[in-house]
């Protein structure tokens, strides 16, 4: 029997990572920032938004608004953890439909 690698040990120590970039259809103001914060708070993964060399935790409305992202800007959503894929998908959806 081989003892080289145990897949359960590997998956337990490495959390899934996901990332996507979204071009904003509108400025990142209070309403979409609030939607992002509420959505981000519902996930257990560590989530980050990145824009113009700034990175914030999207669970805070003021932090999201502080990015200063405007229409046509590209915002990157990153997440690491068990629900990272769902977190990135949901936050990207909110960003892509911001009004």
Q: Is 82 known to be catalytic?
A: no
Q: Which residues pair with 54 in a beta bridge?
A: 51
* 44: its two tokens: 């257990």
Q: CA–CA separation, 24 vs 41, rounded Å?
A: 21
Q: What share of the chain is helix, strand, coil (3-state, %, to 5)?
A: 40, 25, 40
* 91: its two tokens: 């936050």
> What crossing angle do the helices spanning 84-96 and 30-41 adopt, rounded to 10°?
170
> Among the options 19, 29, 34, 76, which is catalytic?
29
Residues recognised as catalytic: 29
């Amino acid at each position: 029997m081989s003892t080289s690698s145990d897949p359960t040990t590997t998956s337990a120590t490495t959390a899934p990572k996901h990332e996507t970039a979204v071009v904003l259809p509108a400025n990142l103001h209070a309403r979409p920032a609030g939607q992002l914060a509420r959505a981000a708070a519902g996930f257990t993964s560590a989530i980050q938004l990145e824009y113009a060399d700034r990175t914030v935790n999207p669970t805070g409305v003021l932090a999201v608004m502080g990015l200063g992202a405007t229409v046509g800007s590209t915002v990157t959503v990153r997440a690491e953890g068990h629900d990272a894929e769902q977190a990135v998908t949901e936050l990207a959806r909110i960003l892509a439909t911001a009004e």
